């Protein structure tokens, strides 16, 4: 392949990727190339396995133009959800299809970065025949996406000022993307079916930590600092307790799963009646179940938590004027127990002309969403940054 | 000009505009056109008055490549700031240079839309020899940018559910853009010198109303609803009074110039000592002056207002992770009286890792900023939407 051909192929792949599928006529118009030239290069890309042909979804009659799309199986990536208790890993392709998944308990005795390396080494060793071309990591704590550094985590040791992207890239020699766990969940939520329009939304992640991913104009919002969507640290009360971030009254101190469990335990210790009294190791699942069954304490703590989330969602709606707010993370499992108060407070505290236009719903992602989102983020970054075209072979070892 | 030539010229102008200036080599590379073709078409565009040549700002030695830029004088637009007491109008070119300005008092007896029409008619009549190709309006109240409708204003009659864009376009037959006054100020703030990078920022407009314009990746953030940046209606207190929007405790009820004047007057009426006691028609200028001179009431109302602004800025910073927050509108004239408390609260209530990276400063725009921003918004939309290329003559009447 000579140099000019390589540039044309690269641009063609980028156009096809960017537009989520393109017909040969569309490529011709967008790239100012004659149709025979387009036909020649697209055939080469099909032969090389980069793109596949499928029927167009609509047609104005006559022979249907064939839509060319990136072959989702052309590359695979490792996606990792670095939680506070466990590490989830998936191996997935560009369509998010998972070919391998595993969950590993985090051992307190070993630095978490070393555990990460060992797990990735095990998986890359096991799948030598698959073209694993990138690694995506969604981490708990504060992460700077632009520098690829973990800043710190309020929940676990070993993540203070760590150049995570550089460490993993150096160890494994492949492109690595590192982002906040909320943002990789949002990225997974943003991946629609083929040729569907990508609508704007804000993804509110309610879990052991709280954050959000803001998806606008087909991409995640990234502040120029590299850290954004930190709604868990919006002050929601003047009388709140101190948060791990150093401030007081943060949303996380009321509405993270950890804070909900803490509040219920504290109330029980103070003698408040609760169906969970006397139970050892009360979990968020126990509290959601108790609230569903009408336990007053569980219900009141859950409702107050959701109301604080609603306050922040009202702010988000006033600021973004967005038609879709998606609630995800562990707390979405509480369903209307959380969605109800959130919707009520948004109605009360945001502009009516916005509240009437927005839909607040639960995410349909499962627990693998973070790991898949991290893998997809890395795979898509490979294409968007042009890194993919530097890869000589797109096939694994024979 | 045949059809293909017209398309190439149009694309060339868009590339030059989008990149804020381009050399012939850059055009050749970006548009996949041979250099002689580029030379031919750029010469035609220079001859027709669309583009001008200037020296490049940097060079690696040898003959300097010439940078081609859109001729800022090629079209002019009318920019209007529709305030609650007056209408400001400017005639400006693509560089924001003003060739005419006028301020008109709003008469309560005449529908405001009729006053707008009369003013525009007067100006277009006066400047027949200038190519006025568009009208931009920055309005008080709630405005849907996407539909071009005024939804309502809490401050003036005659703006309820008005298709302002359609009305003005129909009356004058030229492209019209309608947006919120905060957003057109933000747009004016975003216009840098030639070839300067456009950095991200949030523009906080503190005036008779409060809103913000969010400038990311070279453009204003627009929610998919068409209304965004409505921070004036973020709830900042549980004990607040009712706002014109229907909710209670909104930022505007504490920190708009109208609310500040109201609070000072109410306190004086309740017997609180103030250097402005007995003065009729207390204005925001009087209060800023009194606060500067150490008047306790004026200072306390101004400080509380600024602290509430600080709360909202802390939220904005946590959400956007942005390096620049710009304070504009009437209240920026209070300088450190406002900036001081805003900076202090942002330090206290946003994540330290973000607060350390952000700069909060006063805007350098003057009172014409809104009208100029509205004109620039319309002029830029003309280019970005491709509408400009439908205009046959770019010159006014001879």
List, for residues A305-361, the tens digit of each pLDDT value.
Answer: 999 999 999 999 999 999 999 999 999 999 999 999 999 999 999 999 999 999 999
Neighbours of B109 (CB within 10 A): 6
Cα R_g (chain A), whole angstroms: 23
Please report residues of B whose CB lies closer than 8 A to that of A32: 31-33
Please report residues of B whose CB lies closer than 8 A to that of A141: none
Per-residue pLDDT at B168 exceeds 50: yes
- Greatest mean pLDDT among A7-11, A225-229, B34-38, B68-72 lies in A225-229
Please report residues of A whose CB lies closer than 8 A to that of B314: 234-235
| Chain A CA closest to residue B347 | A247
| Chain B CA closest to residue A347 | B247
CATH superfamily, region B76-190+368-390 = ATPase, nucleotide binding domain (3.30.420.40)
Mean pLDDT of B373-393: 80
Return the C-alpha torsion angle A19, A24, A27, A29, nearest 10.
-120
DSSP, collapsed to helix, strand or coil, labels residue A391 as coil
pLDDT of residue A57: 54
Give dist(CA B74, CA B9) in Å, integer.
15
CB burial string B310-343: b at 16+ within 10 A, e below: bbbbbbbbbbbbbbbbbbbbbbbebeebbbebbb
Residue with tokens 């005659």, as numbered in its chain? B158
> Is A349 in Cβ contact with B314 (below 8 Å)?
no
> Is A323 in Cβ contact with B351 (below 8 Å)?
no
pLDDT of residue B2: 64
Nearest beta carbon to residue A322 from set B216, B225, B316: B225
- What is the token pair recorded at B39? 């030379």
pLDDT of residue A191: 81
> Is B311 in Cβ contact with A230 (below 8 Å)?
no
CA distance B292 to chain A (A): 29
Backbone angles phi, psi at A261, to 5 degrees: -60, -45
Please report residues of B whose CB lies closer than 8 A to that of A321: 222-230
User: CATH for B201-362?
Assistant: 3.30.420.40
Residues in CB range of A87: below 8 A, 6 or more apart: A80, A81, A103, A104, A106, A115, A116, A119
Under 8 Å CB pairs connecting chains A and B tally to 129
pLDDT tier, A195 (very low <50, low <70, confident <90, very high otherwise): very low
Residue with tokens 């707008």, as numbered in its chain? B116
Please report residues of A whose CB lies closer than 8 A to that of B227: 321, 351, 353-354
> Is B31 in Cβ contact with A224 (below 8 Å)?
no
CATH 3.30.420.40 residue window(s) in chain A = 76-190+368-390, 201-362
Give dist(CA A211, CA A380) in Å, integer.
22
Give dist(CA B15, CA B26) in Å, integer.
10
pLDDT of residue A373: 96
Give dist(CA B142, CA B161) in Å, integer.
10
3-state SS, chain B, equals CCHHHHHHHHHHHHHHHHCCCEEHHHHHHHHCCCHHHHHHHHHHHHHCCCEEEEECCCCCCCCCCEEEEECCCCCEEEEEEECCCEEEEEEEECCCCEEEEEEEECCCCCCHHHHHHHHHHHHHHHCCCCCEEEEEEEECCEEECCCCEEEECCCCCCCCCECHHHHHHHHHCCEEEEEEHHHHHHHHHHCCCCCCCCCCEEEEEECCCEEEEEEECCEECCCCCCCCCCHHHCECCCCCCECCCCCECECHHHHCHHHHHHHHHHHHHCCCCCCCCCCCCCCHHHHHHHHHCCCHHHHHHHHHHHHHHHHHHHHHHHHHCCCEEEEECHHHHHCHHHHHHHHHHHHHHCCHHHHCCCEEEECCCCCCHHHHHHHHHHHHHHHHCCHHHHCCCCCCCC
Closest CA to A252 of A162, A333, A153, A185: A153
> What mean pLDDT is reported for chain A?
91
Per-residue pLDDT at B194 exceeds 90: no
How does pLDDT run across B9-38, given as a tens digit for each residue? 888 888 888 888 889 999 988 888 889 999
Per-residue pLDDT at A295 exceeds 90: yes
> Is A226 in Cβ contact with B221 (below 8 Å)?
no
| Chain B CA closest to residue A250 | B349
Nearest beta carbon to residue A321 from set B216, B226, B358: B226
Nearest beta carbon to residue B245 from set A235, A320, A351: A351
Neighbours of A1 (CB within 10 A): 9
pLDDT tier, A154 (very low <50, low <70, confident <90, very high otherwise): confident
> Is B200 in Cβ contact with A351 (below 8 Å)?
no
DSSP A60: S
CATH 1.10.10.10 residue window(s) in chain B = 3-70
| Chain A CA closest to residue B319 | A229
Helix (H) or strand (E) holding A233: none
> Is B321 in Cβ contact with A230 (below 8 Å)?
yes
Per-residue pLDDT at B394 exceeds 70: no
Per-residue pLDDT at B211 exceeds 90: yes
CA distance B150 to chain A (A): 12
- Tell me the longest C-alpha to C-alpha distance in chain A: 80
CA distance A127 to chain B (A): 38
pLDDT of residue A305: 98
CA distance B223 to chain A (A): 4
> Is B227 in Cβ contact with A351 (below 8 Å)?
yes
pLDDT of residue A340: 98
pLDDT tier, B57 (very low <50, low <70, confident <90, very high otherwise): low
CA distance B229 to chain A (A): 4
Closest CA to B326 of B193, B187, B233, B119: B187
Per-residue pLDDT at B59 exceeds 90: no
> Is B31 in Cβ contact with A245 (below 8 Å)?
no
| Chain A CA closest to residue B150 | A353
Please report residues of B whose CB lies closer than 8 A to that of A31: 32
Give dist(CA B303, CA A24) in Å, integer.
62
Given CATH 3.30.1330.10, say whether it is the number of domain B3-70: no
Mean pLDDT of A283-298: 98
> Is A230 in Cβ contact with B351 (below 8 Å)?
yes
How does pLDDT run across B106-153, given as a tens digit for each residue? 998 899 999 999 999 999 999 888 889 999 999 999 999 999 999 999
Residue with tokens 């004088």, as numbered in its chain? B73
* Contact predicate A351/A167, CB 8 Å: no
Residue with tokens 């989520």, as numbered in its chain? A20
Q: How many CA atoms lie within 13 A of B296 on its CB side?
A: 5
pLDDT of residue A2: 64
Residue with tokens 């140099």, as numbered in its chain? A3
How does pLDDT run across A29-70, given as a tens digit for each residue? 888 888 999 999 999 999 988 999 876 555 555 666 789 998
Give dist(CA A329, CA A206) in Å, integer.
5
How does pLDDT run across B310-358, given as a tens digit for each residue? 999 999 999 999 999 999 999 999 999 999 999 999 999 999 999 999 9
How does pLDDT run across B223-268, given as a tens digit for each residue? 899 999 999 999 999 999 999 999 999 999 999 999 999 999 999 9
Task: Give me the helix-helix angle, B24-31 and B35-47, nearest 10°.
Answer: 120
Angle at B278 between CA B277 and CA B281, to 5 degrees: 100
Mutate to test the interface with B, among A318, A324, A348, A352 (most CBs of B within 10 A): A318
Give dist(CA A367, CA A207) in Å, integer.
11
Mean pLDDT of A158-181: 95
How does pLDDT run across A200-220, given as a tens digit for each residue? 999 999 999 999 999 998 889
Give dist(CA B144, CA B28) in Å, integer.
39
Give dist(CA A280, CA B377) in Å, integer.
62
* Contact predicate A237/A230, CB 8 Å: no
pLDDT of residue A19: 81
Give dist(CA A367, CA A185) in Å, integer.
10
Please report residues of A whose CB lies closer than 8 A to that of B198: none
pLDDT of residue B321: 95
Find the range with the poorest average confidence among A186-200, A311-325, B6-20, B86-100.
A186-200
Please report residues of A whose CB lies closer than 8 A to that of B229: 319, 321
Nearest beta carbon to residue B31 from set A32, A352, A354: A32
| Chain A CA closest to residue B213 | A319
pLDDT of residue A232: 97
pLDDT of residue B373: 96
Backbone angles phi, psi at A203, to 5 degrees: -105, 115
> Is B221 in Cβ contact with A216 (below 8 Å)?
yes
Closest CA to B373 of B217, B168, B84, B180: B180
Per-residue pLDDT at B396 exceeds 70: no
Give dist(CA B201, CA A306) in Å, integer.
31
DSSP, collapsed to helix, strand or coil, labels residue A27 as helix
pLDDT of residue B391: 64
Per-residue pLDDT at B165 exceeds 90: yes
Mutate to test the interface with A, among B226, B313, B315, B317 (most CBs of A within 10 A): B315
pLDDT of residue B21: 85
Give dist(CA B392, CA B398) in Å, integer.
15
pLDDT of residue A115: 96
> Is B353 in Cβ contact with A142 (below 8 Å)?
yes
DSSP A200: -
Give dist(CA A45, CA A32) in Å, integer.
18
């Amino acid at each position: 392949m000579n140099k000019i051909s390589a540039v044309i192929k690269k641009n063609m792949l980028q156009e096809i990727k960017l537009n989520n599928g393109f017909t040969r006529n569309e490529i011709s118009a967008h790239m100012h190339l004659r149709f025979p030239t387009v036909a020649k290069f697209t055939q080469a890309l099909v032969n090389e396995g980069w793109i596949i042909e499928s029927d167009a979804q609509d047609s104005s009659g006559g022979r249907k133009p064939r839509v060319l799309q990136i072959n989702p199986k052309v590359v695979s990536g490792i996606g990792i959800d670095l939680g506070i208790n466990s590490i989830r890993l998936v191996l997935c392709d560009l369509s998010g299809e998972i070919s391998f998944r595993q969950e590993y308990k985090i051992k307190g005795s070993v630095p978490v970065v070393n555990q990460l390396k060992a797990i990735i080494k095990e998986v890359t060793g096991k799948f030598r025949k698959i073209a694993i071309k990138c690694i995506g990591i969604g981490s708990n704590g504060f992460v700077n996406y632009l520098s690829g550094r973990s800043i710190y985590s309020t929940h676990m040791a070993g993540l203070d000022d760590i150049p995570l992207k550089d460490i993993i890239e150096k160890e494994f020699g492949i492109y690595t993307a590192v982002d906040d766990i909320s943002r990789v969940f949002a990225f997974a939520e943003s991946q629609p079916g083929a040729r569907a329009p990508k609508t704007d939304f804000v993804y509110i992640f309610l879990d052991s930590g709280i954050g959000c991913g803001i998806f606008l104009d087909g991409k995640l919002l990234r502040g120029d600092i590299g850290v954004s969507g930190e709604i868990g640290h919006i002050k929601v009360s003047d009388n709140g307790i101190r948060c791990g971030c150093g401030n007081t009254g943060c949303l996380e101190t009321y509405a993270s799963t950890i804070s909900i469990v803490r509040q219920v335990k504290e109330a029980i210790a103070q003698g408040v009646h609760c169906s969970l009294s006397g139970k050892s190791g009360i979990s968020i699942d126990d509290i959601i179940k108790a609230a569903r069954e009408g336990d007053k304490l569980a219900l009141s703590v859950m409702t107050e938590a959701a109301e604080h989330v609603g306050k922040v969602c009202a702010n988000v709606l006033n600021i973004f004027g967005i038609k879709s707010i998606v609630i995800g993370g562990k707390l979405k499992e509480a369903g209307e127990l959380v969605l109800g108060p959130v919707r009520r407070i948004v109605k009360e505290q945001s502009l009516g002309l916005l509240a009437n236009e927005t839909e607040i719903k639960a995410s349909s992602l499962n627990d693998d969403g973070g790991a898949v989102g991290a893998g997809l983020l890395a795979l898509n970054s490979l294409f968007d940054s042009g890194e993919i075209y530097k890869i000589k072979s797109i096939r694994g070892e024979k």
